[in-house]
Chain A
Amino acid sequence: MTALTLTNVCKSFGSVEVLKDINLTVEDGEFVVFVGPSGCGKSTLLRVIAGLEDATSGSVSIGGDVVNNIPPAKRGIAMVFQSYALYPHLSVRDNMALGLKQEKQPKSVIDERVNKAVQMLDLNAYVDRRPSDLSGGQRQRVAIGRAIVRDPKLFLFDEPLSNLDAALRMNTRIEIAELHRTLSASMIYVTHDQTEAMTLADKIVVLRDGKVEQVGSPMELYNNPANQFVAGFLGSPSMNFLKKVEIDLPQNGTLGIRPEQLEVVEQGRIRGRVTHVERLGGDTNLLVASDQNEVLTVRLFGQDPTEVGQSIELDFDDSSAFVFDAENQRVR
């Protein structure tokens, strides 16, 4: 069964087209991540799925039913927001229970589901507190709990980790991944952070300017980007793009090469000078200005003695390089 099908979904605000002809399916139990730079329409797409915005045209169906004219509460979804959006006047328990109360579920069912979520998220000590008495991480767990108790067909996450600090972000990321495994629910997750996208997703949807650029598993996108945008967006440090290089390129074409695929050699096709060195312990990143005035990043594994100012020659294996044409599309 498909959890979500989008058919030709368009959305415009006045004369501004925010989403252009989006087609997408999410299979049952799949974890799909929408990723793209800010302003690419990923949050709007999520809000259209949730029913918080109406699609200008096209159809949205959740669990096989077209839901275009169904209000958010009846779509069988639950959403976790970036700013947590907990009800400030309710305790943690009541925050979680409100949705079920609105559905007129019997009290025994409400208690059972809330208690289960509280156990799962380790919130026992806080059930009677107000959101203002909780830390950011705890608030986010309550927000996730509020989504779990509704037992939705589809979970929607809108940049849930953006307001957390780095350490907490990693922990919560792992918790969300575990949650996905335990519940085996369908989830859609919006982020601008490519690390979150790569680590969490079964399937990544890369969006730009309201259009889907490419859909695929993280490794598919990494190994086989369809165009220069996807190639540059995924991977950290991001891919090097060179115009002037000793290799056959199409007219106005670009060569893409990942920083980890560049090798420091005695004599290579790229010559340059090291302008900056980042020593991360596990890896060393070199910033190199080539003699063609292009800037490259080189990722070396382990610790490397290279110093700033040193002249350097680089080379790469042609099979690991990507060639893009003048329209930035991949040439295979």
Chain B
Amino acid sequence: MSKPEPRVGLFVTCLVDLFRPSVGFAAVKLLEAAGCRVEVPELQTCCGQPAYNSGDKADTRAIALQVIEAFRDFDYVVAPSGSCAAMIKKHYPELFEKEPEQLAKAEELSARTFELISFLTDVMQLSDVEAAFPQTVTYHDSCSGLRELGVRDQPRKLLSSVNALSLVELSDADICCGFGGTFCVKYPDISNIMVTSKTGSIESTGAQTLLAGDLGCLMNMAGKLQRSGSDIQVRHVAEVLADMTDTPAIGAAEGDTRNGGN
């Protein structure tokens, strides 16, 4: 390779950090395979969405400044989440509309920040991956990635290069699963109707595994599928693309490592 390796700062996201580090390692593997040098700044915690969406602008700004500082020196900032990437890319600049100096920093960070899968395809020009997943899968488009970042075709394109995988589309792939961050615990009854509708259509696809690009949505849908007795497995799309499906699926029991079903 003649071009220098771009230096990528991985924005892990709080949910991946706490609940499913394997997604973070899948992201690292994919980024490295695409020719990036990956680092993980320790100064990161969360993108600030819980505060932002609760109206707490002061804390959001403080967290945003911390993220801006932590990722100052990278060529790119990549997050395995449409929602966190959109927070940095779309909403950080809104936080500093009246402060030109901070605004410039936020916009500069915004320009360098990407959601993982679209970064791989759109920036690193990746068109296929080396992975196999002998299953029928379906894919849910998480709202922020889809509508704020335009992530739709990119994961489908890479999934089509996975050996033995067949994708069957969800009838309501673009409709919210009812997670919505704190929404799902503030309005549990409504969230439940939404996720029930979503898991209903997931089940009607006949897929063995559900994939998506945001862990919050995935935990919500996995939790509902499991509560209703479904044995559909749920994984972050990066795990499949990175060929790292030997860990139990989200919410699956220890030792349940089926990755190809049969």
A binds B: no
**Interface residues, chain A, with chain B CB atoms under 8 Å away:** none
Residue ranges of B at the interface with A (Cβ–Cβ < 8 Å) = none
